[in-house]
């Protein structure tokens, strides 16, 4: 397993991370989740990502139970704060009150004294950004976190956080967790410039587009898949045109004697500004397959062929991505 530095910082992560979104504490039985995590350790994965909102805290509990059999310092553990866990008026957002109370609960569920990364899961338009920056630095000073980060923030929001921290003599976010995969490449434009300028690490979520890039939808939609049950995929990422392109890309993976899953992850890792994509797994065999991608290095000719087939040069951030924020402002989230 290759280990990569977190941007300009010293901590090293396995080039493949494992995450608990949509799996641990919910759709996947705890015993199977532990088997997946055990296989991750066996494969050299040291980065585990969860969030308080994942299965309403149950995902953190599963990982916490797992960690009791291992040395804590062998892992890079991250969680997140923002979304409401209850109907209480202050149980949401990035206020100092919510941040300080949320991390206490996350640490208890994870059975650890500290987090390596603590992510602001979304941007909070109700709380002054300076309050959030000061709150995160308070956690740093208290030794409760090693770094703080952001997930799904826009470039201008990240820049403001860094400038506020700089003006206060504090520490800005060290790591970004955006959505990034072969079908969704928008971060290659503005966000990457922000990340590079501030020396941040990048740990993308949904690197396999929730299964589309594994090829499991190439011959139709399986009855037990996420798309047919609890998490319908967007039409822009699951349509006849995309499937036709992926069938072509899969031929390239066969030439390389690897799977489409591994090719898709190796394509992400071909970008040296990426630290570690976070991949979900509901079976130990999936962990083994995913981890192998960490040792695959694609040559430039192969990368060019993949991108020529996909024909989806990154575009500027589409307006529809602000829908979730609008729902939050309207009290729908």
User: What is the set of active-site residues?
Assistant: 54
Rg (CA), the chain: 19
- Residue 113 has a CB neighbour count (10 Å cut-off) of 9
Compute the distance between CA of residue 288 and CA of residue 276 in angstroms, rounded to an integer. Answer: 16
Q: Quick one: tokens of 52? A: 């308080």
Q: Residues 292, 294, 295, 297: is their CA dihedral positive or negative? A: positive
Q: What DSSP designation does 93 have?
A: T
318: Cα separation from own chain's centroid: 20
Distances 157 to 175, 194, 219 between C-alpha atoms, Å? 14, 10, 41
CB atoms under 10 Å from CB of 36, counted, come to 24
Query: For strand 47-49 and strand 17-19, is the pairing parallel, antiparallel, or unpaired?
Result: parallel
Nearest to 153 by CA among 325, 308, 32, 332: 325
Question: How many C-beta atoms surround the C-beta of residue 285 within 10 A?
Answer: 12
Distance CA 216, CA 213 (A): 8
Q: Work out the angle at residue 51's Cα, subtended by the Cα atoms of residues 47 and 57, and round it to the nearest 5 degrees.
A: 120
Q: What is the dihedral of CA 287, 20, 153, 92, to 10 degrees?
A: 180
Q: Please state the length of the chain.
A: 333
């Amino acid at each position: 397993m290759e280990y990569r530095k977190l941007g300009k910082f010293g901590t090293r992560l396995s080039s493949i991370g494992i995450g608990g979104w949509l799996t641990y504490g919910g759709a996947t039985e705890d015993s199977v989740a532990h088997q997946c995590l055990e296989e991750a350790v066996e494969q050299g994965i040291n980065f585990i990502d969860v969030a308080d909102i994942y299965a309403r805290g149950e995902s953190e509990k599963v990982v916490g139970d797992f960690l009791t059999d291992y040395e804590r310092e062998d892992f890079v553990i991250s969680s997140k704060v923002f979304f409401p866990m209850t109907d209480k008026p202050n149980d949401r957002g990035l206020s100092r009150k919510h941040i300080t109370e949320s991390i206490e609960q996350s640490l208890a569920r994870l059975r650890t004294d500290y987090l390596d990364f603590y992510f602001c899961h979304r941007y909070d338009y109700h709380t002054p950004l300076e309050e959030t920056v000061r709150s995160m630095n308070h956690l740093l000073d208290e030794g409760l976190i090693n770094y703080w980060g952001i997930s799904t923030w826009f470039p201008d929001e990240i820049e403001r956080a860094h400038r506020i921290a700089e003006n206060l003599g504090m520490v800005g976010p060290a790591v970004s967790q955006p959505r990034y995969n072969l079908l969704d490449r928008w971060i290659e434009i503005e966000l990457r410039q922000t990340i590079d300028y501030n020396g941040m690490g990048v740990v993308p979520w949904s690197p396999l587009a929730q299964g589309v890039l594994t090829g499991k939808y190439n011959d139709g939609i399986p009855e037990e898949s996420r798309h047919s049950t609890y998490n319908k995929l967007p039409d822009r990422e699951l349509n006849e045109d995309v499937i036709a392109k992926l069938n072509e890309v899969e031929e390239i993976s066969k030439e390389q004697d690897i799977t489409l899953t591994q090719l898709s992850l190796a394509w992400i890792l071909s970008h040296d500004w990426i630290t570690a994509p976070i991949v979900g797994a509901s079976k130990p065999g999936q962990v083994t397959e995913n981890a192998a991608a960490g040792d695959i290095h694609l040559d430039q000719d192969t990368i060019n062929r993949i991108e020529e087939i996909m024909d989806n040069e990154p575009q500027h951030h589409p307006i529809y991505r602000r829908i979730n924020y609008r729902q939050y402002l309207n009290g729908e989230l």
